[in-house]
Copies of this chain bind each other. A is one copy, B any other.
């Protein structure tokens, strides 16, 4: 038996792990809680792109231990090698065994490294969440002349925006799909981003894929694309996504879902009632169809962590884990974009009959006020039910919270006619006019077509 006993053991020190721990502390003030993390010095995951230019130094993006220490969570920097469910213990690489009553797996995901010839050459960087790794990656990028980012999802786009703000290197991006951000945005929004990046001098290579990385003296020097073109490079960043880290769970005999994440019920419990899984490693379901879906977002992860942390010993907080609405925002050269729920593509794929409402309005009123940005907003409604199924927005800083109004509307299944008479706060210097508030106008536009 393990001589080190804790009530609650959390494996993983990212946002899902930390929020699980802090939530568990709130609900179970008397329990002994241990968090084990494999990366001694972690980073704020969504802040990674901004370690390369915007932040003064990479250390400004450290994911510190302060919230854990403040909440009296014990911290162990070690790697968990095994879960023994029968004995309710976890084994670590360097510090022996730890007993748990309740175990939360928040072990995250691994960056996908595609099996492309030459992918092991020096100078090719998958994105890891380790401070030391990222610091050495930054040192390389500071010397780079020709940078290629592989992947036009939000990580790739944010990296390219950040790197093209620095002087001295040429930045290119290659993406298989015909437009950027196509997994979360309709084409017209992707094009807005393409225009911004092209204007910054980024070379966009859309509708193409990498066939081979070629090297010189063991380091990448050239990339061959599917259209036959050869791009000279000295540094490559792989931003093509991540896969759930399920190794520990599988070895412990826990089931995976169809989306290859760890299977969990509505309360984030695996089939073992004493083992929970949250965040990137846990399976996700779609809000609309309940299908398994591979969505990895810190916002989903932290929501799951709060469900798990509060319900470890009893189901204290009765709720649905409603499934993910895949809500997120991104930023490109001053343009803020947000997406939630179904896109035109995913709606068509799932067979939803949708009506689209749109609006494009100034984000101040009168529009002559200094610093005005345009807000472009699109909502999708179910044609028969009239309920909002998705939304996308592009604009200034406020777009980052407008998408959260849409997110709440989706989660509460708000109808187009409800949105049409929404009561909202407006102010000349910070929002659109009450006569043309974009959510209301887009809803009206849709109602006119229903």
Chain A residues within 8 Å of B, Cβ to Cβ: 15, 18-19, 23, 26, 44, 46-47, 49-50, 54-56, 60-62, 67, 297-303, 306-307, 310, 317-319, 321-322, 324-325, 327-331, 336, 338-340, 365-366, 368-370, 396-405, 407-409, 411-412, 414, 417-418, 420-431, 433-435, 437, 440, 444, 447-448
Contacts and interface: CB of A to CB of B under 8 A. Distances in A.
Given A365-B44, A428-B50, A448-B26, A423 B397 contact: no
Closest 5 A/B residue pairs (Cβ): A400-B430, A401-B401, A60-B368, A329-B425, A298-B434
Contacts of A340: 425
Contacts of A366: 44, 47, 55, 60-62
A165 to B, nearest CB: 12
Q: Which of A56, A297, A435, A440 has the most CB of B within 10 A?
A: A435
Nearest to A321: B421
A433 B319 CA distance: 23
B369 A50 contact: yes
Nearest to A287: B423
Contacts of A297: 434
Contacts of A336: 427, 429-430
A259 to B, nearest CB: 17
Contacts of A365: 44, 46-47
A335 to B, nearest CB: 11
B440 A306 contact: yes
A376 to B, nearest CB: 15
Given A324-B423, A425-B329, A434 B299 contact: yes
13 contacts: A26-B444, A55-B369, A60-B368, A298-B434, A299-B437, A322-B423, A331-B429, A338-B425, A340-B425, A400-B427, A401-B430, A405-B408, A411-B418
A301 B336 CA distance: 30
Contacts of A418: 319, 411
Contacts of A49: 428
A336 B431 CA distance: 11
Nearest to A54: B369
A424 B403 CA distance: 8
Number of identical protomers: 2
Given A306-B420, A329-B425, A401-B431, 6 more contacts: A301-B434, A302-B437, A306-B440, A322-B423, A331-B430, A338-B425
B60 A300 contact: no
Interface centre among A306, A366, A423, A430 (most CB of B within 10 A): A423
Given A317-B420, A404-B424, A423-B324, A302 B47 contact: no
A311 to B, nearest CB: 11
A407 B431 contact: no
B55 A368 contact: yes
A330 B404 CA distance: 20
Contacts of A426: 46, 298-299, 328-329
A54 B327 contact: no
Nearest to A50: B428
Given A60-B366, A423-B411, A435-B67, A47 B398 contact: no
Contact of A397 (B61, B303, B414, B430): B430
Nearest to A67: B435
Contacts of A431: 329, 400-401, 404
A293 B366 CA distance: 29
Contact of A412 (B23, B402, B414): B414
A399 B404 CA distance: 12
A425 B412 contact: no
Contacts of A411: 418, 422-423
A403 B447 CA distance: 25
Q: Output the residue of A339, A396, A402 with the most chain B CB within 10 A.
A: A402
A163 B96 CA distance: 68
Contact of A401 (B302, B370, B402, B440): B402
